[in-house]
Structure 1
Amino acid sequence: MDRGAHLVGGAGGRVSGAVQPRRLVHLSSPIDLEVVVPVYNEAEQVRSHVERLRAWLDDAVACSAVITVVDNASTDDTFAIVSDLAASTPGIAALHLDRKGRGGAIRRAWSSSDATVVAYMDVDLSTDLAALAPLVEPLLRDEYDLAVGSRRLPGSQVSRGTRREVISRGYLAIAHLALGTRITDLQCGFKAMRTKAARDLLPDVVDDEWFFDTELLVLAERRGLRITEVPVTWVDDPDTRVRIMRTAWKDLRGVARLRGRR
């Protein structure tokens, strides 16, 4: 673990500074699945949503699973809340980072995981959890290396505002044209990888913010990884922390960089 990070696990221990073991939850190894939940200033909803996810994993996913909540330099009580939750609840760990960036949070947790499969989802649970088992089960069977939740496949159900829908479709069209990707949804916050594949690929992913998803998927395609997409039911979060236009501009710059890299 890098400097500037603190980890709280099921045993209530805190780790900081140099590299230390991350498996501090109340489950014995090996772990099948680690679900990473990046958060930033989510004090109002983080406890209830993580508890809901933990209950779902216990009831509906037929594998050993842990949750790691990664706090991205929150300025509210988010990390105190998730630390308390991790200290008192088996199968939950809390990691604090001193820098913002969803991609950086996923990178940090995935790179140090000892689970067979790593996944991530947004804390608002915009994606219906019913899609979680279909997302990870093919990876656990080693049928694919990477699974992508998609809002564009037949069977998907999406509820979102017109502005975000137009921007999303425009970005996807540009990415398809410029990067040659065939993936139908690059930005849905609902993805999973076999951990070995993630460790091999992550050193080449440059972005640590929102373009992380696109870069990860495009590089996976270029390397010939086995990729599957899963239809999801998705409801837009009206209280999103995403600054849409700023993020879209950064994503377009990322597309230009990745196109040149090709």
Structure 2
Amino acid sequence: MSTEKSCYLSIILPAYNEENGLEKCVNETIKTVNSENISYEIIIVENGSTDNTYKIAQQISKNFNFISVVHLEEPGFENAIRNGFKLAKGELVAHLDVDLSTDMSHFKELLSHAKNYDFVTGSRYLDLSSAKRTFGRLFLSKAFNSLLINFLLKSKIKDNNCGFRIIKKNVGLELLNFVDSNTGFGNVEIIVIAQRKGYSVKEFPVKWTENMSDIKFKWVSEFLIPALRLWRRLNF
């Protein structure tokens, strides 16, 4: 159920070159959230796409009065999330990967945990999690989480970069003021800062499948350097 008069949940879909998967994601999201009987809105934030993502997003929004579309000239995950939060009307704000890498069957649990925590995130690395990805990516991701984020930045969360989250709107707006990166590392920054500021963070296991058609990984520029910058900011 969605309504313009009240809104319990805002769902941000950051979309960069997602012309092939955006409509499927929106349809699956609507189907899943409708079963929860809550008021909600969907905000598609198209950011700097070089394909037809923005055009497709506009076409989709014409069919639903609870879907809005934002166009940003420059690509950047953090900027997309920040703009989505500013426009969000809901008490809670979720953001989901458009490629549906996290199984939407976990949405009910994501929403349920949000009643008791400020920040809820899916996890690919808990005992009951299931993550299907290449060995090299799995190794690098676990090394990134355990060595850089858990050891260096003192995060207690095992998976600091899963794109399946719900955050209280007021909490998210505050945390985003401290996010400095715009390389994709901001997804990590916000969860590290949330813990440093004493907000309650819940991590729960999900089934996750890597999108093999869109594997891009710039370890040094997108993760290592931003992690070291965040460490410096938090400790000096």
TM-score (norm 2): 0.93
Structure 2 residue aligned with 1:164: 137
Deviation at 1:249, TM superposition (A): 3.6
Please tell me the residue identity of whatever aligns with 1:176: N
Structure 2 residue aligned with 1:5: none
- 2:4–2:66: 8 Å Cα contact kept in structure 1? no
Q: 1:251 aligns with which of 213, 218, 223?
A: 223
Q: Could you tell me how far apart the structure 2 residues matched to 1:243 and 1:149 are?
A: 21
Q: 1:224 aligns with which of 182, 194, 198?
A: 198
Q: 1:57 aligns with which of 15, 25, 33?
A: 33
1:30-76 Cα distance to aligned partner (Å, 9 max, x none): 211111111111112211221121121112x2311211111111111
| Counterpart check, 1:181 vs 2:155 | yes
Please tell me the residue identity of whatever aligns with 1:137: S
Deviation at 1:190, TM superposition (A): 0.8
Q: Secondary structure at the match of 1:204?
A: coil
1:122-161 Cα distance to aligned partner (Å, 9 max, x none): 111010111112112232x3x2110011111122111111
Q: Could you tell me how far apart the structure 1 residues matched to 2:219 and 2:89 are?
A: 32
1:78-126 Cα distance to aligned partner (Å, 9 max, x none): 1111101001124222111111011110111013312010011111101
Deviation at 1:248, TM superposition (A): 5.0
Instruction: Sort the Cα spacing of 1:234 and 1:147 in 2 relative to 1 into closer, same or farther, 3 A.
Output: same
- 2:32–2:107: 8 Å Cα contact kept in structure 1? no
Q: Secondary structure at the match of 1:239?
A: helix
| Counterpart check, 1:195 vs 2:201 | no
| Counterpart check, 1:101 vs 2:76 | yes
Q: Could you tell me how far apart the structure 2 residues matched to 1:44 and 1:255 are?
A: 32
Q: Could you tell me how far apart the structure 2 residues matched to 1:209 and 1:96 are?
A: 18
Structure 2 residue aligned with 1:45: 21
Q: Secondary structure at the match of 2:102?
A: coil
Q: Secondary structure at the match of 2:151?
A: helix
Structure 1 residue aligned with 2:12: 36
In structure 2, the gaps of 5 or more residues are: none
In structure 1, the gaps of 5 or more residues are: 1-25
Q: Could you tell me how far apart the structure 2 residues matched to 1:43 and 1:183 are?
A: 33
Please tell me the residue identity of whatever aligns with 2:33: L
Q: Could you tell me how far apart the structure 1 residues matched to 2:157 and 2:37 are?
A: 28
Q: Secondary structure at the match of 2:117?
A: coil
Tell me the C-alpha RMSD between the 2 structures.
Answer: 1.4
Q: Secondary structure at the match of 1:177?
A: helix
- 1:120–1:191: 8 Å Cα contact kept in structure 2? yes
Structure 2 residue aligned with 1:13: none
Q: Could you tell me how far apart the structure 2 residues matched to 1:202 and 1:179 are?
A: 17
